[in-house]
């Protein structure tokens, strides 16, 4: 039947492509001695590696979860690859092609596609998503023209590009910002790509799940975007430090997001991943004094360390909620602010501030400069809660609850006019996040401490203001 033998009785597959960050390679698991790595040793796994070890192989409904892991750039066997791949991203295009080709070869109708990545691996994942959105999934015949097609896609908006393959996959190729529509249709007519399944449903990506992207290319057309801010820096967000405390929180959050769209995880495997972090803290405690805060294993307040590249480069403070569009050619921000970014702030930010967690390299109290123009407030909101009547029928009942929200209070000239873009809600905790909080929240529990401190502050406020007598 052409590209694939259609079998309605086969088990559905969930194809999960995992793209690791710079210098990360779980297949090897060892860092050789070198200029950046020092004496070498066992590699601390990133969140991409750790989440890859937590997936169930078969779900409760019989769905197979197939894992494909791509190591990060700069993880090759020699110093040249480490330097060029790590600093300049050399090898990114190769990894994009490998991940995309894997999906072209293994996707069958009814399968689900998930793309997971960190750092430049997040760039890879997003680029692959962009390719699927623009090109579909190439057939066996189309893969024979893969390289010319890939180069065409890279240079659709480059008027100065001299095409070395003017007749492959076809001549008179479209150019410009909307070239992908015509290009994709022509590929499909030639039998070079698949855009829809045999039942007419479009081939889509279930989810793109990324930690802290490096690179701004390859953003696909998406139906839903959710972006959450955590404390810490690039390495804290995606993992790879000996101290995986903050990375544990970002890992648990991502697991909750993927669970919400059908992915299933193995709890014992997660316990093993968290236990590896605990072993670091036990060793650290034996090497520090009782008054030191460096060996603390408490949710949200773990260390933020500077990387080698951060020390020799420059530190960048993020700007939540007020990013602008970027010109794809010049990489310069345009005047218009991004819209519908759906940004929220993780509760670990509030907890770290309340507990006076330490800043970069434990040099001072952490103040979260990225949110210096935002103020935290607690508000009461109504939400619909599902309940059942005496006959077991489900209906929704309005319920009031307190929620935390960040409001922009900075200069109006450098912020969006849309009030929705000036508001970031605190992200609710999911199942795996609450599980992690239970086992690493400390005593007293840092989350409860932050809540109690907020309640005390709320009770003190009325008494601090002078009372007015009634007329």
Angle, CA of 437, 440 and 442, to the nearest 5°: 105
Residue 383 pLDDT: 81
Angle, CA of 240, 326 and 209, to the nearest 5°: 35
Instruction: List, in sequence order, every beta strand (DSSP E) within 347-452.
Output: 374-388, 394-408, 423-427
Q: Are 381 and 401 in contact (CB under 8 A)?
A: yes
- How many C-beta atoms lie closer than 10 Å to residue 463's C-beta? 8
Q: Are 66 and 57 in contact (CB under 8 A)?
A: no
* Residues of the chain above pLDDT 90, percent: 51
pLDDT band at 457 (very low <50, low <70, confident <90, very high): low
Does residue 233 carry a pLDDT above 70? Answer: yes
Q: Are 152 and 183 in contact (CB under 8 A)?
A: yes
pLDDT band at 145 (very low <50, low <70, confident <90, very high): very high
Q: How far is CA 410 from CA 49, 259, 370, 372, 377, in A?
A: 39, 37, 12, 8, 15
Q: Are 422 and 407 in contact (CB under 8 A)?
A: yes
Q: Summarize pLDDT for 291-308 with one digit per residue, the tens.
A: 444 444 579 998 887 765
Q: Are 134 and 217 in contact (CB under 8 A)?
A: no
Residue 45 pLDDT: 86
Q: How many CA atoms lie within 13 A of 467 on its CB side?
A: 4
Q: Are 211 and 267 in contact (CB under 8 A)?
A: no
pLDDT band at 285 (very low <50, low <70, confident <90, very high): low
Segment 244-256 shows an average pLDDT of 93
Q: Residue 58 and residue 172: Cα distance in Å, rounded?
A: 47
Residues in the chain: 471
Residue 86 pLDDT: 39
Average pLDDT, the chain: 82
Q: Residue 77 and residue 32: Cα distance in Å, rounded?
A: 8
Q: Residue 430 and residue 434: Cα distance in Å, rounded?
A: 6
Distance of CA 457 to the CA centre of its chain: 34
Alpha-carbon torsion angle 408, 412, 227, 223, nearest 10: 130
Q: Summarize pLDDT for 191-215 with one digit per residue, the tens.
A: 999 999 999 999 999 999 999 876 6
Segment 152-181 shows an average pLDDT of 93
Q: Summarize pLDDT for 12-69 with one digit per residue, the tens.
A: 999 999 999 765 555 555 656 655 555 666 767 899 999 999 999 999 999 999 999 9
The 3-state DSSP composition of the chain as helix, strand, coil percent (nearest 5) reads 35, 20, 45
Q: Residue 216 and residue 333: Cα distance in Å, rounded?
A: 11
Does residue 222 carry a pLDDT above 70? Answer: no
Q: If DSSP codes are grouped into helix, strand and coil, which group holds residue 77?
A: coil
Q: If DSSP codes are grouped into helix, strand and coil, which group holds residue 163?
A: coil
Segment 222-245 shows an average pLDDT of 84
Q: Summarize pLDDT for 113-128 with one digit per residue, the tens.
A: 999 999 889 999 999 9
Q: Residue 113 and residue 15: Cα distance in Å, rounded?
A: 5
Does residue 313 carry a pLDDT above 60? Answer: no
Q: Are 63 and 263 in contact (CB under 8 A)?
A: no
Contacts of 466 (CB under 8 A, 6+ apart): none
pTM summary value: 0.84
Distance between terminal CA atoms of the chain?
A: 88
- Residue with the bigger pLDDT between 321 and 7: it is 321
Smallest CA-to-CA distance from 276 within 309, 239, 308 is with 239
Q: Summarize pLDDT for 77-91 with one digit per residue, the tens.
A: 443 333 333 333 446
Q: And the tokens for 254?
A: 């991502």
Q: Residue 157 and residue 386: Cα distance in Å, rounded?
A: 50
């Amino acid at each position: 039947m052409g590209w694939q033998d259609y079998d309605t009785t086969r088990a559905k597959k969930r194809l999960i492509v995992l793209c690791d960050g710079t210098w990360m390679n779980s297949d090897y698991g060892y860092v050789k001695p070198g200029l950046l790595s020092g004496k070498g040793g066992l590699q601390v796994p990133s969140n991409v590696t750790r989440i890859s070890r937590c997936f169930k192989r078969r779900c409760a409904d019989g769905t197979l979860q197939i894992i494909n892991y791509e190591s990060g750039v700069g993880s090759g066997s020699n110093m040249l690859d480490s330097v060029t791949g790590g600093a300049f991203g050399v090898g990114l295009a190769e990894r994009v092609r490998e991940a995309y080709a894997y999906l072209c070869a293994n996707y069958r109708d009814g399968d689900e596609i998930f793309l997971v990545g960190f750092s430049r691996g997040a760039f890879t994942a997003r680029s692959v998503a962009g390719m699927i959105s623009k090109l579909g999934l190439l057939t066996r015949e189309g893969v024979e023209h893969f390289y010319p097609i890939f180069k065409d896609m890279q240079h659709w908006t480059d008027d100065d590009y001299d095409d070395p393959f003017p007749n492959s996959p076809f001549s008179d190729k479209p150019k410009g910002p909307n070239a992908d529509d015509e290009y994709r249709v022509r590929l499909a007519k030639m039998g070079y790509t698949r855009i829809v399944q045999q039942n007419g449903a479009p081939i889509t990506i279930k989810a793109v799940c990324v930690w802290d992207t490096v690179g701004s290319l390859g953003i696909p057309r998406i139906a839903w975007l959710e972006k959450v801010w955590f404390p810490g820096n690039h390495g804290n967000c995606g993992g790879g430090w000996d101290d995986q405390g903050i990375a544990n929180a970002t890992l648990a959050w991502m697991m909750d997001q993927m669970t919400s769209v059908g992915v299933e995880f193995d709890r014992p495997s997660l316990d093993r991943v968290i236990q590896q972090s605990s072993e670091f803290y036990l060793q650290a405690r034996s090497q520090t004094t009782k008054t030191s805060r460096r060996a603390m294993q408490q949710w949200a307040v773990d260390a933020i360390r500077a990387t080698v590249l951060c020390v020799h480069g420059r530190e960048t403070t993020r700007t939540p909620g007020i990013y602008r569009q970027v010109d794809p050619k010049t990489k310069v921000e345009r005047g218009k602010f991004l819209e519908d970014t759906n940004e929220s702030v993780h509760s670990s930010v509030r907890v770290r501030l309340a507990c006076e967690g330490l800043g970069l390299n434990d040099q001072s109290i952490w103040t979260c400069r990225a949110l210096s123009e935002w103020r935290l407030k607690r508000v009461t909101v109504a939400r619909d809660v599902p309940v059942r009547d005496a006959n077991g029928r489900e209906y929704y009942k309005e319920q009031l609850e307190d929620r935390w929200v960040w409001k922009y209070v900075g200069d109006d000239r450098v912020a969006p006019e849309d009030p929705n873009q000036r508001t970031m809600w605190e992200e609710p905790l999911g199942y795996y996040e609450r599980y992690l909080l239970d086992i690493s929240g400390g005593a007293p529990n840092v989350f409860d401490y932050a809540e109690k401190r907020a309640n005390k502050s709320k009770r003190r406020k009325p008494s601090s203001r002078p009372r007015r007598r009634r007329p």
